């Protein structure tokens, strides 16, 4: 028997090993294998009776460096199986082979992406704790207990034992006393594995399935009977989550498991709470904000089949569920599903493929679907379409007012941060005891710190970016590489001593609110205020408990949140995302942001109101978003994309060259362009500096490729950029198939 093994430390290669006689090996198991002169951890990806390649010359039976005799010339033997339970199912390995081929990366890299770092590195083994268990009934021959010991024993019986440390705290006793009871024979005190539970300490009240509206019932029927993925297109507040939960319940009754993907960690706590309230201990959570031990234990709990519903962001698409029956991608349009480092996969597309491979149902849910999914459902017929046109419980969609900030500007004062209608609406909510959400997709205090004399901005020395001023700690920070400095005393360009902060971010909005609405209690949610663990959960819980009147934040508050007391949403600069260079998806992103943020208003009994402030009120994306008309926007935008030959009508790849020497990076890009010129069927734009030309001291050039199919793109990239040539001392080549962000 021979095993093909992917070794973690050796990229882009698979190795063949002989399976020693008596060793039981299964596909997907983690094994120890020799490579060169060192033991390495690897994963069995295939087994065969015959050696799959012609071995090098060698003497039969000759021991290798580890003392294991080689049963076949030149083929070394596996040393050990680390765990009898496989880490990967055969379906997951098929998925990873597809991922490696589709996104033009090595199989080993694809395999590494499917394992959380604490699981891969093995440094967070299962935690063991002492557990005390009372013996019932106590054997009659035991020595009598003192009055205090007898009371303690009765307490232990009442609570059915538990962790030694917790029992000591609860009953004001000591480990020595409990061990004395064990020595007398009244209790057992033994070490057991104690999984680290991310949900420990949360007070989650159970919920029951809610009655479905006719539209919800029809959508559920479509999902459960679908022979292909289902696009669940429902307005905000239409009850998509209840449909998800009832579809999961039906799947669990079939003896199969489910995965629920959410786009951001900020959405995970409240989503987990909802699913845990319905499915209890069957729910596991996987995301990078957990502690290493929690991620390790949750992943292995899923692998052992102890958790049947998995909730998490994009990496949870690889969760090792045993019998996948349903995979849900909530807010499927969100760019957060696209991995921003190699392998640059889309979790949405991986979810669709995994469901196909494992014969599972797949649901893509959104109030503002991506144009790719919308076309697949309405034009190509690749997806089923289920509609939810109305909100549940009688709630109505909010009224939307669009404010032209050019008309609101006062002479000599420029564009105001708050228009008069928005200020009046905020004051009304404060008087009524209702809550409001303010959205601005820019953190910090001022977006630019500029010399008042020559106009030169203070820039990052490591990136092609201006520094953002943060008033809270009086620093200038780069939001790309994290570099910071104190504001300079004099302009580096002209020596003038006067600076002025330009633009505004969430910190500045918070400061202005404190002046004009001093009675308002404000919670700010952005990357600066949510860096601490559990901070997302704590801030949202405080707002839900009405400990604040206004929730101010960036796009982490734009979707998925449900606060019945929120009756006003203010969008402070709706056109900011329209002005991103080289981004043909800017209009789509702008529409989605406005529509999603607007959907946070009026989800309870009180009607909602949305005020959109913009300098471009006539832009089609803003106009249709204010009219809540997704289908009109999609039709117009798809027509423009088709005329321009852009996705979803053509496939797009972005090849980025990075390195510390600007000239070497440019030469590499130009040489690649010459290789690509000879390849038929692939269009390309000439190499040019990336929109973000320098990042973290690395210079960046790009080539954009277009082709009718992804297969043609991948074939061109594999030929022009073989895997073994993509990383050199001077230049690194990054291939992004189905590129979403072109910066």
pLDDT given at position 293: 84
- The residues, any chain, with a CB within 8 Å of residue 89's CB and separated by 6 or more, are 28, 320, 322
Whether 562 shows a pLDDT value over 90: the answer reads no
Closest CA to 27 of 104, 84, 121, 90: 90
CA dihedral 675, 677, 683, 685 (to 10 degrees): 80
Closest CA to 347 of 393, 390, 310: 310
Q: Are 458 and 492 in contact (CB under 8 A)?
A: yes
DSSP per residue, 433-452: T-EEEEE-S--SSBSEEEET
Phi-psi map region of 330: left, alpha, beta (phi>0 left; psi -120 to 50 alpha): beta
- The residues, any chain, with a CB within 8 Å of residue 555's CB and separated by 6 or more, are 439, 441, 593
Q: Are 419 and 408 in contact (CB under 8 A)?
A: yes
Band (pLDDT 50/70/90 cuts) for residue 37 is confident
E strands present in 207-280: 230-234, 257-261
Closest CA to 646 of 586, 559, 568, 577: 586
Compute the radius of gyration of the chain from its Cα atoms: 29
pLDDT given at position 353: 98
pLDDT given at position 337: 95
Q: 203 or 663: whose pLDDT is higher?
A: 663
Band (pLDDT 50/70/90 cuts) for residue 410 is confident
What pTM does this model have? 0.87
DSSP conformational letter for 131: E
Q: What is the mean pLDDT of residues 253-281?
A: 87
Q: 193 or 464: whose pLDDT is higher?
A: 464
Q: Which domains does the chain have, with CATH numbers?
A: 2-87 (3.40.1440.60), 128-193 (1.10.10), 214-394 (3.40.50.300), 399-443+505-641 (3.40.50.300), 446-503 (no CATH), 651-737 (3.30.70.600)
Whether 106 shows a pLDDT value over 70: the answer reads yes
High-pLDDT (> 70) share of the chain, % = 94
d(CA 653, CA 419): 42
Exposure string of 319-337, with b = 16+ CB inside 10 Å and e = fewer, is: bbbebbbbbbbbbbbbbbb
Band (pLDDT 50/70/90 cuts) for residue 425 is very high
Band (pLDDT 50/70/90 cuts) for residue 64 is very low
Q: What is the mean pLDDT of residues 149-175?
A: 86
pLDDT given at position 65: 43
Mean pLDDT of the chain: 90
Least confident stretch, 20-29, 301-310, 403-412, 429-438: 403-412
Band (pLDDT 50/70/90 cuts) for residue 202 is low
CA 520, 525, 527, 530 dihedral sign is positive
For the stretch 478-524, pLDDT in tens is: 999 999 999 999 998 898 888 888 889 999 999 999 999 999 999 99
Structure tokens at 134: 């009372």
pLDDT given at position 57: 47
Q: 234 or 69: whose pLDDT is higher?
A: 234
High-pLDDT (> 90) share of the chain, % = 66
pLDDT given at position 69: 47
Phi-psi map region of 588: left, alpha, beta (phi>0 left; psi -120 to 50 alpha): alpha
Band (pLDDT 50/70/90 cuts) for residue 722 is very high
- The residues, any chain, with a CB within 8 Å of residue 524's CB and separated by 6 or more, are 506, 507, 510, 552, 553
DSSP conformational letter for 77: B
DSSP conformational letter for 457: B
d(CA 369, CA 362): 15
DSSP per residue, 52-74: SS-PPP--TT-B-TTS-B-SBTT
Strand partners, 232: 365, 386
Whether 119 shows a pLDDT value over 80: the answer reads yes
């Amino acid at each position: 028997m021979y095993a093909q093994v992917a070794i973690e430390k050796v990229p882009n290669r698979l190795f063949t090993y002989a399976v020693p006689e008596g060793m039981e090996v299964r596909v997907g198991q983690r094994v120890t294998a020799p490579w060169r002169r060192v033991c390495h951890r690897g994963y069995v990806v295939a087994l065969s009776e015959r050696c799959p390649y012609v071995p090098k010359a060698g003497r039969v039976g000759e021991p290798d460096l580890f003392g294991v005799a080689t049963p076949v010339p030149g083929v070394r033997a596996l040393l050990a199986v680390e765990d009898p339970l496989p880490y990967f199912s055969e379906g997951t390995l098929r998925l990873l082979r597809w991922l490696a081929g589709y996104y033009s990366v090595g199989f080993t890299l694809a395999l590494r992406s499917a394992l959380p770092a604490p699981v891969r590195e093995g440094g967070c083994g299962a935690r063991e704790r002492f557990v005390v268990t009372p013996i019932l009934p106590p054997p009659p021959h035991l020595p009598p207990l003192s009055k205090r010991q007898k009371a303690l024993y009765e307490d232990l019986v009442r609570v059915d034992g538990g962790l030694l440390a917790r029992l000591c705290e609860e009953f004001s006793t000591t480990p020595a006393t409990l061990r004395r009871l064990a020595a007398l024979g009244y209790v057992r005190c033994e070490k057991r594995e104690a999984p680290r539970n991310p949900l420990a300490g949360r007070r989650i009240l159970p919920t029951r399935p809610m009655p479905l509206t006719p539209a919800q019932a029809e959508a559920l029927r479509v999902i459960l009977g679908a022979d292909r993925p289902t696009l669940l297109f429902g307005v905000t507040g239409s009850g998509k989550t209840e449909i998800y939960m009832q579809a999961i319940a039906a799947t669990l009754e079939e003896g199969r498991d489910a995965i629920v993907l959410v786009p951001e960690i900020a959405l995970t706590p409240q989503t987990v709470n909802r699913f845990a309230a319905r499915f209890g201990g069957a729910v596991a959570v996987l995301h990078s904000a957990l502690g290493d031990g929690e991620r390790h234990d949750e992943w292995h709990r899923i692998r052992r089949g102890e958790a049947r519903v998995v909730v998490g962001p994009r990496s949870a698409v690889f969760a090792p569920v045993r019998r996948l029956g349903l995979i849900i991608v909530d807010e499927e349009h969100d760019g957060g599903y696209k991995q921003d480092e190699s392998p640059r996969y889309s979790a949405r597309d991986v979810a669709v493929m995994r469901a196909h491979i494992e014969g599972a149902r797949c649901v893509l849910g959104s109030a503002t679907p991506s144009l790719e999914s919308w076309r697949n459902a309405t034009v190509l017929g690749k997806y089923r379409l289920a509609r939810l046109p109305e909100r549940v419980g009688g709630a109505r969609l909010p009224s939307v007012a669009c404010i032209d900030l050019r008309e609101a500007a006062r002479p000599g004062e420029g564009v105001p941060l708050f228009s008069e209608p928005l200020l009046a609406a905020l004051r009304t909510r404060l008087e009524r005891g209702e809550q409001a959400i303010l959205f601005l997709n820019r953190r910090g205090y001022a977006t630019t710190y500029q010399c008042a004399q020559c106009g030169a901005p203070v820039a990052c020395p490591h990136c092609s970016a201006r520094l953002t001023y943060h008033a809270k700690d009086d620093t200038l920070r780069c939001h790309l590489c994290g570099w910071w400095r104190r504001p300079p005393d004099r302009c580096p360009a002209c020596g003038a001593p006067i600076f002025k902060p330009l633009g505004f971010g969430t910190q500045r909005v918070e400061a202005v609110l404190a002046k004009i609405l001093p009675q308002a209690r404000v919670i700010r949610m952005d990357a600066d205020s949510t860096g601490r663990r559990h901070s997302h959960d704590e801030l949202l819980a405080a707002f839900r408990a009405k400990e604040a009147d206004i929730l101010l934040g960036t796009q982490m508050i734009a979707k998925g949140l449900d606060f019945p007391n929120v009756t006003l949403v203010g969008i402070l600069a709706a056109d900011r995302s329209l002005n991103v260079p080289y981004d043909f998806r800017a209009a789509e992103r702008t529409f989605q942001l406005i529509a999603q943020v607007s959907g946070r208003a009026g989800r309870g009994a009180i009607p909602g109101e949305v005020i959109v402030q913009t300098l471009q009120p006539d832009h089609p994306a803003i106009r249709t978003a204010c009219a809540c008309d997704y289908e009109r926007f999609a039709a117009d935008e798809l027509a423009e994309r088709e005329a321009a030959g852009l996705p979803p009508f053509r496939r797009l790849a972005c090849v980025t060259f990075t390195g510390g020497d600007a000239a070497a990076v440019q030469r590499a890009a130009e040489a690649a362009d010459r290789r690509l010129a000879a390849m038929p069927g692939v269009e390309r734009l000439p190499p040019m500096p990336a929109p973000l030309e320098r990042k973290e001291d690395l210079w960046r050039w790009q080539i954009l490729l277009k082709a009718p199919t992804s297969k043609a793109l991948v074939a061109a990239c594999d030929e022009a950029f073989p895997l073994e040539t993509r990383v050199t001392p001077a230049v690194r080549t990054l291939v992004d198939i189905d590129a979403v962000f072109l910066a």
